[in-house]
């Protein structure tokens, strides 16, 4: 079996490769989205800490 | 005795402890998912013989069926951990359930689209009201309902409990839905579905299929851990362990 | 316990009969939706018969869905739901009473008016009878499952669409078997299997749904 035959998939290339491509998209999305979510959460908590520190400093003045 | 076990469970399932432990597990799951997945793909795409009936198009099975199994498996995990969360008030279980929903929904979606892409050359249409596809569609709706309820209720605790209860009701229903859809289908279509069924599968096709299913589950384990860590961070954002952790970053 | 059941049931019925015009709304909705189909498709007897079971069952389902709010919404808003939960009677019994009242006010009227709709949709007499049996067995399940959905969403603002999103997938088995029973009856085939299935689901829902509803109400109240 050579490569062009492999990619041809016996005439079903469109269906087979679209399926596999979509799987790749879903897998990548499942990896990327929690990582982005993590970043957002950490940034948010950092901001909250900063704000609290400012308020704390103000109340001491 | 029971009391000490209970203490142990509580300590073990504290978000803080989980956060530390999961960091060590994630790389293992990721690497093994990748290795098993690549080997499964290799066997599925290069080694498995061409199907005598469906030609090469059957190779969609190596992702379609694992995706469908996974979507059902994740729903079960969701319902069981929701049950644990409701009965024993273990917060970590609620977090796992909430973290699982988007993953399960995305794989239910994948199963639907790959199923319809497989259906086109087999049935001549992208969508046929096949029993399994219909059940899968309903499963996707159940996921949507869970996520909608989870996000509609502001108070985190009752959001978890409410959507958790829905997940449990959903599991009881899934079996009835599955049975009734199957029955409805044999009534209305009969023979067309038989094409999908493989009474006995060639061993060279079965092995990559099972490998891919395993790879999907390992992938789920890795992603759900990452997502549960996010949930833990977010929900405990005002607690000391999170504050200390963030300050160290 | 039985007394509590009876009193709550009577209270709900009496309250409902105070604003009678609201009572008829789900019923009118039911008839209206069914009327739309002959207008949208074709009013030939054959076409009507082919779609009748599905159309009537889907309309009944939507009518029940729209009326679900009535189950707990007002009681939740005016605080009497909290009162109920404080009562010494088991919550499951009270839930059962409320669901019974809901069925009397929506499910039963739908069953009673169904022959008229059967006539609209040119259903033969035997199929009309089966339609009534299937609705009689199926609509209580719709109320029971719906009660779980409402108790989960009653505290949510604008929970209407959310409620249908949650409840409709759970209604599918009832729809399949209910509509199919009528369909099969038109071909003159036995429908015992379908009706027995509906009865089994009714028994299952009757024993499990009030429990789930009680848990859901406690969750909702704990906010």
Position B30 in a domain: no
Q: Which of C156, C168, C176 sits opposite B152 (nearest CB)?
A: C156
* Chain B residues 101-140 with a CB less than 8 Å from chain C: 138
User: Across chain B, what does the average pLDDT equal?
Assistant: 87
Judged by CB atoms closer than 8 Å, whether chains meet at B114 and A46 is answered as no
- Touching, B vs C (3+ Cβ pairs under 8 A): yes
Whether the CB of C148 is below 8 Å from some CB of chain B: the reply is yes
Q: Which string of DSSP letters, residue by residue, matches B180-216?
A: HHHHHHHHHTGGGGGGT--SS--HHHHHHHHHHHHHH
Contacts of C197 in chain B (CB under 8 A): 180
Tokens of C186: 């038109």
The Cα–Cα gap between B107 and B75 comes to: 11
Buried b (16+ CB within 10 A) or exposed e, A6-42: eeebeebeebbeebbebbeebbeebeebbeebbeebb
pLDDT for position C99: 94
**Looking at residue B55, what DSSP letter applies?**
B
Taking alpha carbons only, the member of C96, C141, C119 closest to residue C45 is C119
CA–CA distances in Å: residue C109 to residues C10, C64, C115: 17, 11, 11
Return the number of other C-beta atoms located less than 10 Å from residue C13's C-beta. 14
Position B7 in a domain: no
Q: Answer for the pair C123, C57: CB distance below 8 angstroms, yes or no.
A: no
The Cα–Cα gap between C42 and C37 comes to: 8
Best C158, C173, C208 member to test B by mutation, with max B CBs in 10 Å, is C173
pLDDT bucket at B166, cuts 50 / 70 / 90: very high
Taking alpha carbons only, the member of B235, B239, B237, B228 closest to residue B21 is B228
Q: How far apart are the first and last CA of chain C?
A: 28
What ipTM goes with this model? 0.88
| Residues B45-64: tens digit of each pLDDT | 888 888 777 778 888 889 99
Taking alpha carbons only, the member of C134, C148, C185, C167 closest to residue C65 is C167
Domain that holds residue B115: 60-248
Contacts of C212 in chain B (CB under 8 A): 165, 168-169
Lowest mean pLDDT among B6-20, B87-101, B150-164, B188-202: B188-202
Taking alpha carbons only, the member of C216, C215, C182, C220 closest to residue C198 is C182
Mean pLDDT, to the nearest integer, of C76-91?
85
Position B102 in a domain: yes
pLDDT bucket at A42, cuts 50 / 70 / 90: very high
Nearest 5°: the CA angle C126, C181, C24 is: 80
| Residues C108-131: tens digit of each pLDDT | 999 999 989 988 888 888 888 999
The Cα–Cα gap between C145 and C208 comes to: 9
Whether the CB of B246 is below 8 Å from some CB of chain A: the reply is yes
Tokens of B140: 């996707």
pLDDT for position B139: 93
The alpha-carbon gap from B194 to the nearest alpha carbon of chain C, in Å, equals 22
A7-16, B39-48, B138-147: range with highest mean pLDDT: B138-147
- Chain A neighbours, 3+ Cβ pairs < 8 A: B
pLDDT for position B101: 96
**Looking at residue C107, what DSSP letter applies?**
I
Contacts of A12 in chain B (CB under 8 A): 55-57, 121
Nearest 5°: the CA angle B240, B147, C68 is: 125
The Cα–Cα gap between A27 and A49 comes to: 34
Tokens of B48: 């498995």
Identify the closest residue of chain A to B104 by CA–CA distance.
A30
pLDDT at B192 over 50: no
Lowest mean pLDDT among B66-80, B221-235, C44-58: C44-58
Distance of CA C155 to the CA centre of its chain: 21
Domain ranges of chain C: 2-221
In chain C, what percentage of residues exceed pLDDT 70? 100
Judged by CB atoms closer than 8 Å, whether chains meet at C212 and B145 is answered as no
pLDDT at C192 over 90: no
pLDDT for position C223: 67
pLDDT at B189 over 60: no
pLDDT for position B154: 86
**Looking at residue C187, what DSSP letter applies?**
T
Mean pLDDT, to the nearest integer, of A13-37?
93
Q: Residue A1: beta bridge partners? A: none
Taking alpha carbons only, the member of C69, C143, C138 closest to residue C100 is C143
| Residues B103-153: tens digit of each pLDDT | 999 999 999 999 999 888 888 888 888 778 888 999 999 999 999 999 998
Query: For chain B, what is the domain count?
Result: 1
The Cα–Cα gap between A57 and A61 comes to: 7
**Is the alpha carbon torsion for B212, B215, B220, B223 positive or negative?**
negative
Higher pLDDT, B195 or B232: B232
Q: Answer for the pair C171, B177: CB distance below 8 angstroms, yes or no.
A: no
Taking alpha carbons only, the member of C116, C113, C111, C119 closest to residue C135 is C111
């Amino acid at each position: 079996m050579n490569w062009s035959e492999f990619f041809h998939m016996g005439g079903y290339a469109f269906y087979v490769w679209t399926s596999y491509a979509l799987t790749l998209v879903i897998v990548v999305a499942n990896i990327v989205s929690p990582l982005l979510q993590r970043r957002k959460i950490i940034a948010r908590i950092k901001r909250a800490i900063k704000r609290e520190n400012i308020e704390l400093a103000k109340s001491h003045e | 005795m029971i009391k000490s076990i209970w203490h142990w469970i509580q300590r073990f399932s504290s978000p803080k402890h989980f956060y530390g432990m999961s960091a060590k597990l994630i790389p293992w799951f990721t690497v093994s998912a990748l290795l098993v997945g690549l080997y499964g793909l290799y066997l599925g795409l290069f080694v498995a013989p061409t199907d005598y009936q469906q030609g090469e198009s059957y190779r969609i099975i190596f992702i379609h069926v694992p995706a469908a199994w996974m979507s059902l498996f994740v729903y079960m995990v969701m319902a069981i951990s929701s049950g644990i969360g409701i009965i024993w008030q273990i917060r970590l279980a609620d977090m796992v359930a909430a973290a699982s929903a988007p993953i399960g929904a995305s794989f239910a979606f994948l199963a639907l689209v790959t199923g319809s892409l497989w259906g086109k050359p087999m049935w001549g249409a992208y969508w046929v009201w096949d029993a399994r596809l219909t059940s899968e569609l309903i499963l996707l709706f159940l996921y949507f309902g869970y996520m909608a309820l989870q996000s509609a209720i502001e108070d985190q605790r009752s959001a978890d409990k409410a959507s958790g209860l829905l997940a449990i009701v959903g599991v009881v229903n899934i079996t009835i839905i599955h049975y009734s859809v199957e029955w409805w289908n044999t009534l209305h279509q009969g023979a067309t579905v038989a094409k999908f069924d493989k009474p006995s599968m060639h061993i060279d096709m079965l092995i990559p299929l099972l490998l891919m299913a395993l790879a999907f589950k390992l992938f789920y384990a890795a992603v759900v851990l990452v997502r549960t860590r996010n949930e833990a961070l977010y929900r405990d954002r005002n607690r000391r362990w999170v504050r200390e952790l963030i300050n160290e970053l | 316990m039985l007394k509590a059941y009876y009193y709550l049931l009577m209270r709900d019925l009496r309250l409902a009969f105070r604003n009678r015009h609201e009572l008829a709304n789900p019923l009118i909705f039911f008839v209206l939706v069914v009327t739309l189909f002959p207008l949208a498709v074709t009013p030939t007897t054959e076409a009507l018969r082919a779609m009748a079971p599905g159309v009537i069952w889907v309309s009944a389902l939507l009518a029940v869905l729209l009326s679900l709010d009535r189950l707990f919404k007002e009681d939740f808003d005016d605080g009497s739901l909290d009162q109920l939960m404080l009562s010494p009677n088991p919550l499951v019994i009270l839930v059962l009473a409320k669901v019974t009242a809901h069925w009397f006010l929506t499910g039963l009227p739908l069953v009673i008016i169904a022959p008229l709709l059967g006539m609209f949709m040119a259903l033969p007499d035997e199929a009309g009878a089966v339609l009534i049996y299937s609705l009689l067995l199926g609509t209580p399940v719709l109320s029971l499952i719906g009660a779980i959905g409402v108790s989960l969403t009653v505290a949510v603002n604008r929970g209407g669409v959310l409620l249908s999103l949650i409840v409709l997938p759970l209604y599918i088995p009832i729809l399949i078997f209910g509509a199919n029973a009528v369909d099969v009856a038109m071909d003159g085939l036995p429908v015992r299997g379908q009706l027995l299935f509906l009865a089994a689901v009714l028994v299952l829902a009757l024993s499990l749904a009030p429990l789930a509803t009680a848990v859901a109400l406690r969750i909702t109240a704990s906010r």
